[in-house]
Amino acid sequence: MKVGIIGGTGGIGQGMALRLSQTHTVYIGSRIEEKAQAACELCGYALKVLGLPFDLLPTTNQGVVDESEIVVFSIPAENLERTIEGLTGLEGKIVISLMNPMIRTDFFKYNPPEDGSAALKLQKLLPESKVVAAFNNIPAGKWQQLSEPLDYSVCVCSDFDDAKERVMELVNSISELKALDAGPLAVSPYIEAITPLVINIARFSKMRDVGVYFK
């Protein structure tokens, strides 16, 4: 598949690119194309050292939309409106939200927008797109640690069955990830809230890069 990552120069975005580009065509997008170019170079070096094949291309955020079948929003939830403002052509596309809005007080607090979750807000901002929440609970460190398999569960939810199915295929094509159908997009708050939960667990239980497995 052709997958593009808006905000692909962040830790999660780069980590996803490292894993996905081994079997898919991946576009790393950024507001500033030079940043995308630098991220692609860095990821390319790592994959070359490991002797792994990859198909990885830098572009702008608009370039991601133009080139990709599946567009991943890997940006801080608070940047959502301003990122979408400049983009055209998202109608009909599969759009993945892995955003987990949170704030730090004396613990990490889930901080959803009024719409209930970042994914629900994205769907409202893009009523003509097919929003799917997925990949919310995989720590950046685990994405990037290519020497280890990624053996986590990935909750996938959406109001569009065809889009959900396609994203579940994508999930199951990556390392040892296992896609789970969690139902409609209305369950996305529970999935997003797991991320502050595991960050709290990591902090209070002195662990690192905690992910989730359902069994």
Identify which of residues 89 and 184 has a Cβ nearer to a second copy in the complex: 184
Among 1, 42, 90, 197, binds a second copy (CB under 8 A): 197
CB distance 28 to 61 below 8 Å: no
In the complex, minimum distance from the CB of residue 61 to a second copy, in angstroms, rounded to a whole number: 31
Residue (23 or 200) nearer to a second copy, CB: 200
Nearest residue (CB) to a second copy, 26 versus 157: 157
We find the least distance from the C-beta atom of residue 206 to a second copy, in angstroms, to be 9
Quote the crossing angle between the two packed helices 188-204 and 118-125, to the nearest 10°. 140
**Should residue 88 be labelled a site residue for a second copy when binding is judged by CB under 8 A?**
no
Residue 190 as a binder of a second copy (CB under 8 A): the answer is yes
CA-CA distance, 194 to 151, in Å (whole number)?
A: 17
Q: Are 3 and 18 in contact (CB under 8 A)?
A: no
- DSSP-assigned states of every residue in 30-81: ESSHHHHHHHHHHHHHHHHHTT---EEEEEEHHHHHHH-SEEEE-S-GGGHH
Contact pattern for a second copy over residues 109 through 128, marking x by CB under 8 A: xx------------------
Q: Does 186 bind a second copy (CB under 8 A)?
A: yes
What minimum distance in Å lies between the beta carbon of 215 and a second copy?
6
Binding to a second copy by CB under 8 A, coded x per residue (else -) over 154-173, reads -x------------------
Tokens encoding 206: 């002195």
Q: Is 48 in the site for a second copy (CB under 8 A)?
A: no
Q: How far apart are CA 34 and CA 137, in angstroms?
A: 29
Q: CA–CA separation, 205 vs 213, rounded Å?
A: 17
What's the CA gap between 190 and 181, in Å, rounded?
A: 14
Binding site for a second copy (CB under 8 A): 106-107, 109-110, 155, 180-184, 186-187, 189-191, 193-194, 196-198, 200-201, 203-205, 207, 210-215
